[in-house]
Amino acid sequence: MPEDLSTAQQQVAAFVDENGMHAPPAYRLLDLAAEVGEVAADAAESSEYGHSPASLSVPEDELGDALFALLALADELDVDAGDALETSLSKYETRIENGGDAGSGA
């Protein structure tokens, strides 16, 4: 999967290059927060703000927008998304091995 993620990041980077869409990382981060906010808003509305969790839905394109924003941010920061995911998975595996839970415990 990380190689696929790196490939997806390369696709996003090429799209950004081809369309003159480069932006400073701070703007990319704000865009990511906005896109994740849209995902959350769709989830909240579709689940009647948590009263009907089984009805939760999020449009695929909204998830795609958030993913695009995250990969564009990673690219602007010169971070390989596949490597970052590998690091994260390793961290979670260690937490599970040490405490039985992937959470940070914070």
CATH of the domain at 6: 1.10.287.1080
Decide if 68 is inside a domain: yes
Q: How far is 102 from 95, CA to CA, in rounded Å?
A: 5
Decide if 95 is inside a domain: no
Number of domains in the chain: 1
Q: What is the mean pLDDT of residues 11-31?
A: 98
What pLDDT, on a 0 to 100 scale, did the predictor assign at position 48? 95
pLDDT digits (tens, 9 = 90+) for 47-102: 999 999 999 999 999 999 999 999 999 999 999 999 999 999 999 999 898 887 87
Instruction: Reduce the DSSP state of residue 21 to 3 states and report it.
Output: coil
Decide if 104 is inside a domain: no
Q: How far is 12 from 86, CA to CA, in rounded Å?
A: 19
Decide if 42 is inside a domain: yes
Q: How far is 58 from 77, CA to CA, in rounded Å?
A: 28
Contact 40, 56 (CB under 8 A): no
Q: What is the dihedral of CA 23, 26, 27, 31, to 10 degrees?
A: 120
Q: Tokens standing for 95?
A: 């937490």
